[in-house]
Amino acid sequence: MHGEILFRLGVALCTGALIVTHTPAARALDADGRKKIVLVAGRPSHGKGEHEFNAGVQLLARCLNQVPGIAAPFYLNGWPKDPHAFDGADSLVFFMDGGPGHPMIQDDHLRIIGGLMHKGVGLACLHYAVEVPKDHGGREFLDWIGGYYEDHWSTNPHWEAKFSQLPDHPITRGVEPFALRDEWYFNIRFGPDTNGITPILVAKPSDQTRLGQSAWPRGPYPHIVAARGRAEVLAWAVERPDGGRGFGFTGGHFHNNWGNPNFRKLVLNALLWTARIEVPPGGVQSTVADDELRQNLDPK
């Protein structure tokens, strides 16, 4: 089954095919006539410079707020306390720890997000936020972003991924081939019907990487090793049957990677795309100085 999924994804990568069953109703703009992308950061975790969710979300919000016609409010340290945080949102972005403690699956949060998805609101999950338990959020993530990280099926080693080819897609506009070391997850759990999924970042892990010596839980996993030589999908986009759009991105472990212009542009492009905003021909333009990467870091 997994091999068949990758074959279908490979076809999508070559064709750039997307399927839209219908277009959602136009969403209300904010008071200034701007489209609204709401970003949510998780609580501090890991060591200094890793999983810097609060700093990362503020950096992305700053870049988005410089794009004409976009409002990008953000919320720090977990699920927003403001019950109206998502009102009028065109897309939601979650960058936080996942797994059983994922804020998106606590209390009635799946129901809240599900209601917004049915209205065609976009959804992007970055790094650990793509992981949910199979029996608590897995089905929803398959519906909303097309796939998710499944514990003991997927793997999360630290490795340098080389992206030598990029698909023809709005998310890749202005993005040049690049290589970057990160905690790139792979062997993502995709659904049986992948016709609406477009792989955005694809790279081939080395045989050594597949041993999972830097992954947690530690490898090797027999099914990961057995797939040696296979290219893996590390970021993907999906057109949902409800008319909304989803984006899964497995990078983002190391905060300094936001300083890479191609890494950053691809994610910023994706956030516009999920909100059904036309991505500029050269992609979202932004600059991030070294001192800006050091701003808003959690005290670890």
- Average of per-residue pLDDT across 32-59: 96
Tokens at 146, concatenated: 């097309």
Residue-wise pLDDT tens digits, 103-138 = 999 999 999 999 999 999 999 999 999 999 999 999
> Would you place residue 5 in the very low, low, confident or very high pLDDT band (cuts 50, 70, 90)?
very low
Of all residues in the chain, the percent with pLDDT exceeding 70 is 89
Average pLDDT over every residue of 177-192: 96
How much of the chain is helix, strand and coil, in % rounded to 5?
30, 20, 50
The pLDDT > 90 percentage for the chain reads 86
On the question of pLDDT at 45 being above 70, the answer is yes
CA–CA dist 230, 194 (Å, integer): 18
Tell me the backbone φ, ψ of residue 247, rounded to 5 degrees. Answer: -145, 130
What's the rounded mean pLDDT across residues 156-174?
98
The DSSP H or E segment spanning 76 is: none
Cα(235)–Cα(169) distance, rounded to whole angstroms?
Answer: 13
Shortest CA distance to 55 belongs to which of 259, 287, 298? 298
Query: What CA–CA distances, in Å, run from 7 to 11, 155, 171?
Result: 6, 20, 21
Q: Quick one: average pLDDT of 217-225?
A: 96
d(CA 65, CA 49): 24
Structural domains present in the chain = 2-293 (3.40.50.880)
Quick one: pLDDT at residue 276? 97
Q: Would you place residue 192 in the very low, low, confident or very high pLDDT band (cuts 50, 70, 90)?
A: confident
Question: What's residue 289's pLDDT?
Answer: 96
Q: What is the pLDDT of residue 168?
A: 97
Mean pLDDT, range 168-193, rounded to an integer: 95
What's the pTM value of the predicted model, to 2 decimals? 0.90
Q: Identify the residue with better confidence: 271 or 192.
A: 271
What's residue 26's pLDDT? Answer: 41
**Residue 85: pLDDT above 70?**
yes
Cβ neighbours for 120, distance < 8 A, ≥ 6 positions apart: 24, 25, 27, 242, 243, 244
Mean pLDDT of 149-169: 98
- How many other C-beta atoms lie within 10 A of the C-beta of residue 278? 10
pLDDT of residue 37 exceeding 80: yes
If you average pLDDT over residues 72-79, what whole number do you get?
Answer: 98
Distance CA 104, CA 231 (A): 30
Q: Is the pLDDT of residue 172 over 60?
A: yes
